Homo-oligomer: A and B are copies of this chain.
């Protein structure tokens, strides 16, 4: 069973939200995937999920208000983290590995701070610590490219892939892979979700040097990763995270941008396996 073929399931948590999710692979400690700004279940690259699911259980889900999940998308990362934990609790997982990507990586940090004993290991892809200077609301051309009401594939391509032939080609292949699923596709994320998520991103990015200390409380091993040309969340912030988190390793992938984990799906999945092992 590949990610593109796996059915979308639902489960209702104690907070009353019915969460949509897809559950692939098998293993003791599941790996929970936390998605990027405006992304739903169909935005996970099936090539990446399949590579991750070769020797572990991988669970992707829509957080509250996103895609096919019910409820209203909250406006803060903290509330998103509590909602994600409600989903984890609903599935009965006592401990999980977490892979957060972009906005999802902010939620992943917050989950680990809220409930440290629920997280075994943490992967932060295209991430930054709350309060780091220079990332408030993203650069104008970045939010211009991915923040419009109508889908803008060229805009996504320019943010998620680097300005090189190889990376743009990888981007076109990624678009092909996420379009390959023809039945049981997820619901599109709404404008209300876009508004709420961008509020959360801006709140996270308000410069506040004092908040940098928060991630020093993350006691689990962390793998921080990014593309070397990410215009949305600069690689700079990966170094900052790796310098603030006591047990962190960092890797910057060449010739890639925000979507480095899709472009380099084989290498990244191998690095994640090595890290989680």
- Does A210 interact with chain B (Cβ within 8 Å)? yes
Residues of B within 8 A of A213 (CB): 209
A209 and B238 CA atoms in complex are apart in Å by 18
- Pair B236/A133 contact, Cβ less than 8 Å: no
Total interface residues in chain A, CB < 8 Å: 20
Residues of B within 8 A of A134 (CB): 246
Residues of B within 8 A of A210 (CB): 209-210
Residues of B within 8 A of A206 (CB): none
Residues of A31-87 contacting chain B, CB below 8 A:
none
- Does A200 interact with chain B (Cβ within 8 Å)? no
Residues of B within 8 A of A132 (CB): 243
- Does A237 interact with chain B (Cβ within 8 Å)? yes
- Pair B250/A216 contact, Cβ less than 8 Å: no
Residues of B within 8 A of A236 (CB): 242-243, 246, 248
Q: Which of B209, B216, B242, B246 contacts A243 (CB 8 A)?
A: B242
Residues of B within 8 A of A178 (CB): none
Residues of B within 8 A of A239 (CB): 239-240, 242-243, 248, 250
- Closest Cβ neighbor of A245 among chain B residues: B236
- Does A241 interact with chain B (Cβ within 8 Å)? yes
- Does A142 interact with chain B (Cβ within 8 Å)? no
- Closest Cβ neighbor of A132 among chain B residues: B243
The 7 A-B residue pairs whose C-beta atoms are closest, nearest first, are A240-B243, A239-B243, A239-B242, A239-B239, A209-B213, A243-B243, A236-B243
